[in-house]
Structure 1
């Protein structure tokens, strides 16, 4: 047993959260799954509590899921965890880095600044400008800034006419406020999830659609398959994930007629695709990585103290 107390920030009862907690318990004898909805931050002391557990006394936390869905409230939860990190508790990944990916605009803007190929994108509050983008591209995907698994996304086509598209845009704006429109690209029935651990390539899986939906997400009926990524494609994934500093992540890539494009870098990454598509227990490997990082830090501290 390794004498470390590491908690999992996640959704109690969810497979990805529980399987990670299981691996940690097997190696450390300690198990703690934290639901951020029940966490209390004491600003006057900087202490973060989850029921009877003082999180500031932990050796580390793994942020597997900050909430069931992405929203501005998820940003608030990450701000709470920043106080934990400031107190010396190691967070995998850092809340500051995760926060850059909760909001779709901030994440893709960072990728664009890093020279990563993306589908042509327009961001505006103007309905007229949004209509112009639809006309220019012919077909677009209208995306909420906060969403996962293609939830809330709408496909708009210029052929449907200005009146119909205006009605959809106005309804969308009333709920979300900002238009994020991305040129529709042909996925060829699949897109790829490229998995990275500690900034190093782990594997690639494909999500294959069921021909009933425009997207290939598992939520919409897609299935995981193995995929042998080329060295050039892996290099693209490495470059995309290097725009952030994440302990574990998945880069979503599509192979289009105009070449590969990156849709997003995941704030948390997924275990299911690596397991079902590549036969790799990514939860176990993340657990090993976290423990090795904490053990290395302990060794450095002990060496420094011995030299004093």
Structure 2
């Protein structure tokens, strides 16, 4: 089978998935959406000069590095067009589009009855300032970044107007603010593949105690989560319809688990470094099985 790995050439997770698909006998090629084009009136999607409709299926590992909401939506639309031409895309573009946007993701979580931190989204500086004052301490997040990029903790004593104007100048979108959840220096990542729990890891804070991301100096440690955490993660994954995802959970001071995020693409590194679990061949096997169900003769 000819499989497109939608990701970034040379990136560790993209190349790992590509290698895993090849090890399962597939002819896998990396497709960078930043190098794709839609040609009308056909319409067809090309990666440079290769028509993506020539592939038997596509597995999406990354959309590419962009905090630009229009850029993200344009790339998701490329995947929608590919799907509409009859190519199976995992995870489905409409589901990816929900998860990749923090605003839409949090709305979906709340709509599904899953517990989330108190959140405010606004373009108004005065409204954003009032939210920080109401929360006491807040985390300002861009709508379209991952791994903690662009996040900032805000307190009422700070020059909030300057912080919000800087966020706006950097083109990071509306002000997405969540009440800061006091935690013991770690949060939990729970991996779900094809509706099943496959492992979990702690992200333990490093230099910045409030932020647990690896880019901020955090590290991975193996976790043995309670059944409640696993159940929340599976519910979130099933609600979004994602074939592979990581669900980030945090415990508030009262001991209640809250869902912070649902990853549109899932991550390999935390499972491998924290748990010794290589999810790439597991995802490759699931993807190829699904593609064969759609095109059994291939």
* Same fold, judged at TM 0.5 (above): yes
**2:147 counterpart residue number:** 149
1:242-261 equivalent positions in 2, closer than 5 A: 242-258=238-254, 259-261=256-258
Shift of the alpha carbon at 1:212? 3.0
Aligned partner of residue 239 in structure 2, secondary structure: coil
The structure-2 alpha-carbon separation of the partners of 1:71 and 1:8, relative to structure 1 and needing over 3 Å to count, comes to: same
**1:305 counterpart residue number:** none
Shift of the alpha carbon at 1:213? 4.4
Shift of the alpha carbon at 1:54? 2.0
Structure 1 runs, 4 residues or longer, greater than 3 Å off: 173-177
Provide, for residues 214-244 of structure 1, a one-character-per-residue CA deviation record: whole Å limited to 9, x for no partner. 2111111111100001111111111222221
Provide, for residues 134-193 of structure 1, a one-character-per-residue CA deviation record: whole Å limited to 9, x for no partner. 111111111111211111112111233xxx122222332344452211100112111111
**1:306 counterpart residue number:** none
**1:133 counterpart residue number:** 131
Instruction: Give the Cα separation in 2 of the matches to 1:178 and 1:52.
Output: 36
Q: 1:45 aligns with which of 42, 46, 60?
A: 42
Asked if residue 100 in structure 1 is aligned to residue 95 in structure 2, the reply is no
Shift of the alpha carbon at 1:46? 2.0
Query: Higher mean Cα deviation, 114-123 or 127-136?
Result: 127-136
Q: 1:158 aligns with which of 151, 156, 159?
A: 156
Instruction: Give the Cα separation in 1 of the matches to 2:37 and 2:48.
Output: 8
* Counterpart contact for 2:31–2:47, Cα < 8 Å: yes
Instruction: Give the Cα separation in 1 of the matches to 2:23 and 2:126.
Output: 57
**2:274 counterpart residue number:** 277
**2:260 counterpart residue number:** 263
Instruction: Give the Cα separation in 1 of the matches to 2:293 and 2:165.
Output: 54
Asked if residue 198 in structure 1 is aligned to residue 198 in structure 2, the reply is no
**1:122 counterpart residue number:** 120
The structure-2 alpha-carbon separation of the partners of 1:177 and 1:196, relative to structure 1 and needing over 3 Å to count, comes to: closer
Asked if residue 231 in structure 1 is aligned to residue 234 in structure 2, the reply is no
Residue-pair matches, total: 295
Query: Higher mean Cα deviation, 238-247 or 124-133?
Result: 124-133
Asked if residue 30 in structure 1 is aligned to residue 27 in structure 2, the reply is yes
Asked if residue 17 in structure 1 is aligned to residue 6 in structure 2, the reply is no
- TM-score w.r.t. structure 2 length? 0.94
Unaligned runs of 5+ in 1: 303-308
**Highest Rg: 1 or 2?**
1
The structure-2 alpha-carbon separation of the partners of 1:263 and 1:77, relative to structure 1 and needing over 3 Å to count, comes to: same
Query: Higher mean Cα deviation, 80-89 or 207-216?
Result: 207-216
Shift of the alpha carbon at 1:133? 1.5
Instruction: Give the Cα separation in 1 of the matches to 2:155 and 2:175.
Output: 15
**1:218 counterpart residue number:** 214
**2:180 counterpart residue number:** 184
Shift of the alpha carbon at 1:274? 1.0
The structure-2 alpha-carbon separation of the partners of 1:115 and 1:248, relative to structure 1 and needing over 3 Å to count, comes to: same
Q: 2:167 aligns with which of 167, 172, 176?
A: 172
* Counterpart contact for 1:120–1:183, Cα < 8 Å: yes
